[in-house]
Amino acid sequence: MTRLVVVSNRVALPNELKPGGLAHAMRSALREIGGIWFGWSGRTTSQTASMAQIQREGNVTFATLDLGKRDHEEYYAGFANRTLWPLFHFRPSLVDFTRQTWAAYRRVNAIFAEHLARFIEPDDLVWIHDYHLIPLASLLRERGIRARLGFFLHTPFPPPELLNMLPVHRELFEALADYDLVGFHTADYLRAFRDYILLEAHGEVNDTGVISVRGGRRSFRAGVFPIGIDVPEVSNLAAAAHAHPGCAQLHESLQGRALMIGVDRLDYSKGLPERFRAFGRLLEEYPEFKRQVTFLQIAPVSRTEVAEYRQLKRELERIAGGINGRFAEPDWTPVRYLNNAYPHAALTGYYRQARVGLVTPLRDGMNLVAKEYVASQDGDDPGVLVLSRFAGAARQMGGAILVNPHDQDGMVNAMRAAITMPLADRRARWRELMDGLEREDITAWRRSFLAALDVTAEARDGRLAG
């Protein structure tokens, strides 16, 4: 039988509370069909990498690797998160490229390949995730691995004019071309990838749904596979959350005021300063909302190794403090700003209590919070999603109020429209959004990607045999 081997930078071990879209999605996908999840353990050692441990839970085997401290720093906080992440999120001014971190990136990928190769059997489907691990296919092929290798990018893919600012863009593309299948969240990212192939790599693109590409050393395929969520799981958690002590306390503390909620990793791609400022403007321009609305922002800290993330944290503290200092009253705090992570059992209950969900990133591959917010609502009295047009999710979620986070007036108007939207409109929009979530859920994502990978590899083997 075909086995699934999932590879990602970080493995989320059983019972680990790990905010982040990839971790949550992989956990659901693997739980359904079983397999191996290979990646970094979250621990660093003073020396080089070593195979840390194998753990089993149900039908999933977790195989984790400890990394050397310096390797990890240069690869993760270096090339992955100070070069690729800002570039892929359209922030070239934040890109810091050095040959040293590029070398570390390839070195750590080679360590992954060395340890991973021992687990792979020829019939496996190997599904590699995200921008940390782009070179892995080439390195596995060098080790003689013949299994099917698929890659999924969880971030946006930038247009060629941005990508080619990276001195090693060609090497990165050649590495992608060594996969059998490359997957993106949206047709926009696939189009950007295709433009790169045509304009920079002088390759050919054969358009048949999933595209066939002749651009690297051989042909491979690329396609759109929008990630979804486990809708019944989220809905059931949310419906049961009233029994959760944290949810009951939140409810009581609101004293009937409308709640607006944001839940994001503390990341500059999420548009948090813009969201905070727009909320401040809302209170300034529409004083009737004073005392009537509370904004709860949950923002667990992330990537504190990178200076921009620490800087953003200070900036948000300043803006939230400023708004509260200006508008708060002895018995009402307009902004409740929290850096802790919460279990999904509580989070879904918070979503459900919120009249408005604010998901306003400057750029986001997909954004799962938008989907979780909708799935958590009570269909009889649902809240309203305000969603940035620059989140991949906007392509599927036309039932939300779409905003441009760079347009502060537009954001204020959207917040106001969301808070005051009549019940009939809220219900109609919610139903439309739920239909979409149910159609393109986490199972559809996993199945469509793996089915495409299966077909792709058969074609490749055929070619090789011929």
From candidates 22, 36, 176, 411, binder to ligand GDG by CB under 6 A = 22
3-state secondary structure of 31: helix
416 strand-pairing partners? none
What six digits make up the tokens of 312? 């953003």
Closest to 106 in 3D by CA, of 126, 78, 125, 129 = 78
* Reduced DSSP (H G I as helix, E B as strand, rest coil) percent helix, strand, coil of the chain, to 5: 50, 20, 30
Q: What is the DSSP letter of 2?
A: P
Check residue 309 and give left, alpha or beta (phi > 0: left; psi -120 to 50: alpha): alpha
Q: Give the Cα separation of 344 and 442 in Å (integer).
A: 16
By CB neighbour count within 10 A (0-12 exposed, 13-18 middle, 19+ buried), where does 55 fall?
middle
From candidates 3, 20, 70, 95, binder to ligand GDG by CB under 6 A = 20
Compare residues 4 and 370 and give the one whose CB is closer to ligand GDG: 370
Compare residues 125 and 263 and give the one whose CB is closer to ligand GDG: 263
From candidates 42, 300, 322, 410, binder to ligand GDG by CB under 6 A = 300
Binding status of residue 17 toward ligand GDG by CB under 6 A: yes
- Cα 390 to chain centroid distance, Å, stands at 13
Binding status of residue 446 toward ligand GDG by CB under 6 A: no
**Active-site residue identified among 230, 264, 364, 441:** 364
Containing 148, the helix (H) or strand (E) segment is strand 148-152
From candidates 151, 279, 342, 390, binder to ligand GDG by CB under 6 A = 342
- In the annotation, is 364 catalytic? yes
State the first-to-last Cα distance of the chain, in angstroms, to the nearest integer: 25
Compare residues 71 and 274 and give the one whose CB is closer to ligand GDG: 274
From candidates 19, 35, 86, 349, binder to ligand GDG by CB under 6 A = 19
Residue pair 303/269 in contact by the 8 Å Cβ criterion: no
Residue pair 147/121 in contact by the 8 Å Cβ criterion: yes
Point out which span in 36-44, 133-141, 336-344, 417-425 binds ligand GDG (CB under 6 A): 336-344
Point out which span in 20-28, 33-41, 173-181, 396-404 binds ligand GDG (CB under 6 A): 20-28
From candidates 135, 365, 383, 436, binder to ligand GDG by CB under 6 A = 365
From candidates 21, 226, 334, 405, binder to ligand GDG by CB under 6 A = 21
Residue in the block written with tokens 């019972």: 15
Tell me the residue number closest to ligand GDG, measured at CB.
21
Closest to 393 in 3D by CA, of 85, 127, 156, 234 = 156
Kindly state the smallest distance separating residue 361's Cβ from ligand GDG, in Å. Answer: 8
Kindly state the smallest distance separating residue 99's Cβ from ligand GDG, in Å. Answer: 27
Binding status of residue 246 toward ligand GDG by CB under 6 A: no
Using CB under 6 A as the binding rule, the residues of this chain from 44 to 73 that contact ligand GDG are none
Binding status of residue 265 toward ligand GDG by CB under 6 A: yes
DSSP 70-132: HHHIIIIIIIIIIIIHHHHTT-GGG----HHHHHHHHHHHHHHHHHHHTT--TT-EEEEESGG
Q: Give the Cα separation of 307 and 326 in Å (integer).
A: 29
Kindly state the smallest distance separating residue 13's Cβ from ligand GDG, in Å. Answer: 14
Binding status of residue 368 toward ligand GDG by CB under 6 A: yes
Point out which span in 13-21, 46-54, 312-320, 398-406 binds ligand GDG (CB under 6 A): 13-21
3-state secondary structure of 191: helix
Containing 384, the helix (H) or strand (E) segment is strand 384-388
Point out which span in 16-24, 46-54, 132-140, 427-435 binds ligand GDG (CB under 6 A): 16-24
**Active-site residue identified among 154, 169, 185, 244:** 154
Number of residues binding to ligand GDG, judged by CB under 6 A: 26
Binding status of residue 263 toward ligand GDG by CB under 6 A: yes
Q: Give the Cα separation of 101 and 98 in Å (integer).
A: 6
From candidates 66, 372, 440, 441, binder to ligand GDG by CB under 6 A = 372
Point out which span in 52-60, 366-374, 408-416, 457-465 binds ligand GDG (CB under 6 A): 366-374
Residue in the block written with tokens 């992330």: 302
Residue pair 127/3 in contact by the 8 Å Cβ criterion: no
- In the annotation, is 130 catalytic? no
Point out which span in 93-101, 162-170, 324-332, 339-347 binds ligand GDG (CB under 6 A): 339-347
Binding status of residue 280 toward ligand GDG by CB under 6 A: no
Compare residues 77 and 198 and give the one whose CB is closer to ligand GDG: 77
From candidates 4, 25, 258, 453, binder to ligand GDG by CB under 6 A = 25
Compare residues 150 and 215 and give the one whose CB is closer to ligand GDG: 150
Binding status of residue 298 toward ligand GDG by CB under 6 A: yes
Closest to 428 in 3D by CA, of 466, 375, 462, 384 = 384
Residues in contact with ligand GDG by the rule CB under 6 A: 17, 19-22, 24-25, 154-155, 227, 263, 265, 298, 300, 341-344, 347, 364-369, 372
- Residues annotated as catalytic are 154, 364
